């Protein structure tokens, strides 16, 4: 899959491309001389690996559509990283090089961004990503216990699954990656978890185990708030801004908690003060 060309180095000079700043003495030679490691150890460190990017041929148009949304192309980088995750289920070296190529950035610049954000995964994800909120409030309501239970349930006996580890083979049907998440802005519905970023509210360890078992059987239980479940890659495509199913927007969102205040007001006949009719704008001339 990968090809490493001896001519390409991080210094950017090319031995085969004609003149370099020091004829016959390219960066790799300098680095080799300077290295305290052996030649064999140094070579992989200074050789740029050119990945085969053909796996992304199908998303080139989408990448360009993302770029067109912004006044400056670099702004497209975050959505584009979501986009490459929709192809491979993680951000691979190839994914980084693809973004770099499309945005005319150095791979190192893309890499620095990709590693900063928790939603970009460095290892292939399962069909589903299960994120359990273990921030303080959810944890106090049982979130820590839910996470522990899932780790053990999805792991091997005596070897619970760790953060961002996968049960099953990544990409295969029924495979599940789990992670603990920070506050997911659903504290009134805690403890919460998400599958592919759709909400499953008011969870218990039992409910969570039932949910992941169903996922492993290939079922897709409906979220409490969100659209019908698909998979991690499809969710990534949507995060890149591509929404193919119009009906998804109809997925439920009006939890009792969300509506608690509005409902209470309706029951008690409470309202905000009535607005006066036809309020004029301030006359600035007089100021």
Binding site for ligand FES (CB under 6 A): 133, 135, 137-138, 183-184, 186-187, 190, 192
Whole-number minimum distance, CB 29 to ligand FES, in Å? 54
Q: Tell me the window of 42-50, 52-60, 169-177, 189-197 that interacts with other proteins (CB under 8 A).
A: 189-197
Whole-number minimum distance, CB 184 to ligand FES, in Å? 4
**Out of 141, 154, 161, 176, the residue judged to bind other proteins by CB under 8 A:** 141
**Out of 197, 205, 207, 228, the residue judged to bind other proteins by CB under 8 A:** 197
Q: What contacts 184, CB < 8 A, 6 or more positions away?
A: 131, 133, 135, 138, 192, 194, 199
Each residue 74-113 as x (binds other proteins by CB under 8 A) or -, in order, gives xxxxxx-xx--------------------x--------xx
Helices marked H in 69-218 — which ranges? 77-88, 93-103, 107-114, 136-140, 143-154, 205-216
Footprint (CB under 8 A) of other proteins, residues 227-256: 227, 235, 238-241, 243, 246, 248-251, 253-254, 256
Whole-number minimum distance, CB 193 to ligand FES, in Å? 9
For residues 77 and 95, the answer to whether their CB atoms sit within 8 Å is no
Give, for 130, the enclosing helix (H) or strand (E). Answer: strand 128-133
- The closest of 117, 102, 110 to 65, measured between CA atoms, is 102
Cα separations in angstroms, 233 against 85, 86, 196, 199, 219: 6, 4, 9, 17, 17
**Out of 189, 208, 211, 215, the residue judged to bind other proteins by CB under 8 A:** 189
For residues 199 and 186, the answer to whether their CB atoms sit within 8 Å is yes
Q: Does 69 bind other proteins (CB under 8 A)?
A: yes
């Amino acid at each position: 899959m990968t090809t490493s060309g001896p001519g390409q180095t991080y210094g950017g000079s090319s031995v085969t491309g004609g003149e370099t700043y020091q004829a016959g003495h390219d960066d790799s030679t300098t680095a080799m001389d300077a290295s305290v490691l052996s030649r064999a150890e140094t070579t992989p460190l200074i050789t740029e690996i050119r990945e085969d990017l053909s796996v992304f041929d199908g998303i080139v148009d989408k990448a360009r559509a993302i770029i067109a949304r912004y006044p400056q192309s670099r702004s497209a980088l975050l959505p584009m990283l979501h986009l490459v995750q929709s192809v491979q289920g993680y951000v691979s070296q190839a994914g980084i090089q693809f973004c770099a190529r499309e945005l005319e950035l150095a791979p190192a610049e893309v890499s620095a961004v990709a590693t900063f954000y928790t939603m970009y995964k460095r290892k292939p994800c399962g069909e589903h990503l299960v994120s359990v909120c273990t921030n303080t409030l959810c944890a106090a309501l049982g979130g820590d216990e839910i996470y522990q239970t899932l780790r053990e349930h999805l792991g091997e006996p005596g070897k619970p699954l760790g953060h961002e580890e996968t049960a099953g083979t990544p990409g295969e049907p029924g495979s599940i990656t789990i992670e603990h998440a920070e506050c997911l802005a659903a504290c009134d519905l805690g403890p919460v978890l998400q599958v592919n970023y759709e909400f499953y509210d008011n969870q218990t360890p039992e409910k969570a185990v039932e949910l992941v078992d169903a996922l492993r059987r290939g079922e897709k239980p409906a979220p409490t708030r969100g659209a019908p479940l698909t998979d991690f890659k499809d969710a990534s495509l949507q995060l890149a801004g591509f929404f193919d199913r119009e009906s998804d927007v109809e997925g439920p969102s009006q939890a009792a908690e969300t509506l608690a205040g509005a409902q209470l007001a309706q029951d008690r006949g409470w309202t905000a003060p009535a607005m006066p009719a036809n309020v004029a704008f301030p006359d600035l001339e007089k100021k």
